[in-house]
Structure 1
Amino acid sequence: MIEFKQVHKQYPDGLLALKDIDLQIDQGEYVAIIGLSGAGKSTLLRCVNRMHDISSGSLKVDDVEISTLRGKGIRQLRRSIGMIFQSFNLVTRISVMKNVLVSFVPGIPLWRKVLGVFTEQEKKQALIALDRVGILDKAFVRVDQLSGGQQQRVALARTLAQNPKIILADEPVASLDPVTANQVMGDFRRINQELHMTVIMNIHHVELALEYASRIIGIRAGEIVYDGRTEDVTDEILEQIYKGSVEKGEDIAHAREAVTN
């Protein structure tokens, strides 16, 4: 369980990125966070694994106040939370398999890190992860020979190999074409359902969020303005989330834009 209580996040320049966040996400949920650019979506996501520290309030993961963690405690937290980025963060000049095996590096002895030695069990886990995302046949192909969608699946497999409880995804389909974006979103949903992993993602494509996620959190100017079931989201709710400097009709059009844009 992830629990925010009265969480504020203020940056050194004075920007208040999160205001009075009260939020609970239970194990096994598939949550999409939506809102305009700069609304605080990425900040909220990155507070969960301590990439950002909160300024005040309480943030617990499995009843552990993560703001009190130091050193080894933070490393253990991050082992249970997989993070997937828009940019994939892969080493393109090496094989898919080696990229997935990187997920084990933080927990292995120094000599194995230096020599690049992995156990048979670690290799098996990497292959199982690749199979789960449908690219087992690419295990020994260099990453730079893969399409963007395949590379995102490598990033997802690398996260799965560490067997996390939670997957955080920061705009995971932003750079993908519409067909591939749907495939990757389907991968997230299947993993969520089959492995009971919590999936929390920031996403600009509202249509994809509404199709695949079971819960929508809408953020505007650092505040949660909607938190509820996907099927309860209406155009009026989207207007509330995306209300800004543009005209009302443009807001709705932007929020409902298809993934082809």
Structure 2
Amino acid sequence: MIVFDHVSKTYPNGYQALKDINLTIEQGEFVAIIGLSGAGKSTLIRTINRMHDITDGTLTVDGVNVMELKGARLRQFRRNIGMIFQSFNLVTRTTVIKNVLTSRVPELPFWRALLGAYPKKDKLEALEALDKVGILDKAFVRADQLSGGQQQRVALARTLAQNPKIILADEPVASLDPVTAKQVMDDFRRINREMNISVLINIHHVDLALQYADRVIGIKAGEVVYDGPASEVNEAVLAEVYGGQFEAGV
């Protein structure tokens, strides 16, 4: 369970990205976060794994106060939270399976990490993760030979190899064509349902948010202006979230 209790975030330059956020996200939910660029969507999800620190309020994950974590405890906490970016963040000059195996590096003895000597168990788990996203046949292909959609699936497999409880995705399909974007969203939804992993996706494509998510959170100027079932999002809600620009967000 993720709980935002009167959470705010102000950057050093004085910009307030989040304003008094109160949210509770249960384990296994599929949540889409929508809003204009600069509304605070990315900041919201990045506070969950402490990529950004909050400045007011309390943020807890499974009862743990995120802001109290330091050092080894923070690193271990982050192992339970996968993060996927728009830009894939792959090492493109190496193979797909080696990219997936990088998720295991924090748990390896130094000499194994240095030599890339991964245990057989880790290799099998990496192959299983690739199989779950439908690209097992690409395991020994260089990442730079894959399409954008395939590269995002590698990023998702790398995250699955962490055995996370939560997956955070920051615009994961923004750079993909519509057909490929739906294929990747299919992967997210299947993993969410089959593995009971909480999925929080910051997404510009409202049509995909409504098609795939169970719950939609609309953010405007750092404030939550809608939080409810995807099935109840209508033009009035979109007008509230996007203002006069809501058609551009659909």
Residue-by-residue CA offset, 1:226-258 (whole Å, 9 max, x unaligned): 000000101000000001xxxx4xx342232xx
What residue number does 1:219 align with? 219
Secondary structure of the corresponding residue to residue 99 of structure 1 = helix
1:41 equivalent in alignment to 2:36: no
Secondary structure of the corresponding residue to residue 106 of structure 1 = helix
**Any residues of structure 2 matched to 1:68-83 within 5 Å, and which?**
68-83=68-83
The alpha-carbon deviation at position 107 of structure 1 amounts to 1.2
What residue number does 1:166 align with? 166
Secondary structure of the corresponding residue to residue 38 of structure 1 = coil
Secondary structure of the corresponding residue to residue 82 of structure 2 = strand
Residue-by-residue CA offset, 1:197-249 (whole Å, 9 max, x unaligned): 00001000000000001100000000000000000101000000001xxxx4x
- How many residues are paired up? 250
1:254 equivalent in alignment to 2:242: no
Gaps of 5+ in 2: none
RMSD of aligned alpha carbons: 0.6
**Any residues of structure 2 matched to 1:1-261 within 5 Å, and which?**
1-243=1-243, 248=244, 251-256=245-250
Secondary structure of the corresponding residue to residue 241 of structure 1 = helix
In structure 2, distance between residues paired with 1:15 and 1:206: 26
The alpha-carbon deviation at position 73 of structure 1 amounts to 1.1
In structure 2, distance between residues paired with 1:73 and 1:176: 36
TM-score relative to the length of structure 2: 0.99
In structure 2, distance between residues paired with 1:242 and 1:82: 28
Gaps of 5+ in 1: 257-261
The alpha-carbon deviation at position 77 of structure 1 amounts to 1.1
> What letter corresponds to residue 116 of structure 2 in structure 1?
G
Between the aligned residues of both structures, percent identity stands at 66
TM-score relative to the length of structure 1: 0.95
> What letter corresponds to residue 165 of structure 2 in structure 1?
K
What residue number does 1:259 align with? none
In structure 1, distance between residues paired with 2:221 and 2:104: 38
> What letter corresponds to residue 222 of structure 1 in structure 2?
G
Residue-by-residue CA offset, 1:152-207 (whole Å, 9 max, x unaligned): 00000000011000000000000000000000001000000000000001000000
Residue-by-residue CA offset, 1:27-85 (whole Å, 9 max, x unaligned): 00000000000000000000000000000100000000010000011101110000000
> What letter corresponds to residue 255 of structure 1 in structure 2?
G
Secondary structure of the corresponding residue to residue 141 of structure 2 = coil
Secondary structure of the corresponding residue to residue 39 of structure 1 = coil
Moved over 3 A (4+): none
In structure 1, distance between residues paired with 2:25 and 2:86: 23
In structure 2, distance between residues paired with 1:12 and 1:139: 43
